[in-house]
């Protein structure tokens, strides 16, 4: 049993995360998982813009083939909305995704989280997407 320094409740060791930064691998954090979760959630709520800008900077650095000036230009060309569904709400972590061709790494457009995930799930395959369209249309006609 360990005592959480935040809620002052004794809990089993399984209710505490392992301390990743400590060189002793079996050392546990001082706050329980529940208190850790609340702390992280409050941080995210208070620092949305900071997190979004850090995330965007990371993505732009990771995808150097989609430089920030091109990202900004594409987003402006699209009217600051998703190139597929037209939403102005990026969803996900709060920034639009820089979409690119996974074969050639050529930049395409800027997408919301949902459209980017959808393309990824269809493996950027137009035949699969067409099959999905035909499937949906088949059941639209029945109703």
* Predicted local confidence at residue 137, as pLDDT: 93
* Together in a domain, 69 and 138: yes
Per-residue pLDDT for 123 more than 60? yes
pLDDT in tens, 43-87: 989 988 887 777 767 766 666 677 778 888 999 999 999 999 999
* Together in a domain, 84 and 137: yes
Helix, strand, or coil here: 5? coil
3 sits in which H/E element: strand 2-3
In this structure, the number of other CB atoms found within 10 A of the CB of residue 109 comes to 20
Per-residue pLDDT for 143 more than 60? no
* Together in a domain, 69 and 136: yes
Domain assignment present for residue 53? The answer is no
Q: How far is the C-alpha of 139 from the C-alpha of 136, rounded, in Å?
A: 5
Which residues have a Cβ under 8 Å from the Cβ of 66 and sit 6 or more positions away? 60, 98, 100, 107
Q: Show the domain range for 20.
A: 2-46
* Predicted local confidence at residue 11, as pLDDT: 95
**CA dihedral for 117, 120, 124, 125, sign (positive or negative):** negative
* Predicted local confidence at residue 25, as pLDDT: 64
Domain assignment present for residue 122? The answer is yes
Structure tokens at 63: 């995808």
Q: How far is the C-alpha of 38 from the C-alpha of 32, rounded, in Å?
A: 10
* Together in a domain, 77 and 110: yes
Domain assignment present for residue 31? The answer is yes
State how many domains the chain has.
Answer: 2
Per-residue pLDDT for 22 more than 70? no
The larger pLDDT score, comparing residue 21 to residue 5, is at: 5
* Predicted local confidence at residue 60, as pLDDT: 62
Beta strands at 97-100 and 2-3: parallel, antiparallel or unpaired:
unpaired
Q: How far is the C-alpha of 36 from the C-alpha of 83, rounded, in Å?
A: 37
Average pLDDT score over the chain: 87
* Together in a domain, 7 and 77: no
* Together in a domain, 79 and 131: yes
* Together in a domain, 87 and 38: no
Threshold 0.85, pTM exceeds: no
Domain assignment present for residue 70? The answer is yes
* Predicted local confidence at residue 24, as pLDDT: 62
């Amino acid at each position: 049993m360990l005592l959480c320094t935040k809620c002052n409740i004794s809990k089993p060791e399984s209710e505490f995360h392992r301390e990743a930064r400590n060189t002793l691998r079996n050392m546990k954090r001082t706050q329980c998982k529940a208190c850790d979760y609340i702390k992280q959630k409050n941080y995210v709520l208070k620092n949305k813009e900071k997190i979004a800008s850090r995330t965007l900077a990371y993505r732009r650095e990771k995808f150097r083939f989609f430089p920030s000036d091109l990202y900004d230009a594409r987003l402006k060309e699209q009217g600051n909305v998703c190139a597929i569904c037209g939403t102005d709400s990026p969803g996900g972590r709060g920034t639009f995704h820089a979409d690119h061709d996974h074969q050639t790494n050529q930049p395409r457009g800027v997408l919301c989280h949902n459209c980017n995930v959808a393309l990824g799930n269809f493996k950027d395959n137009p035949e699969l997407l067409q099959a999905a369209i035909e499937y949906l249309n088949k059941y639209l006609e029945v109703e």
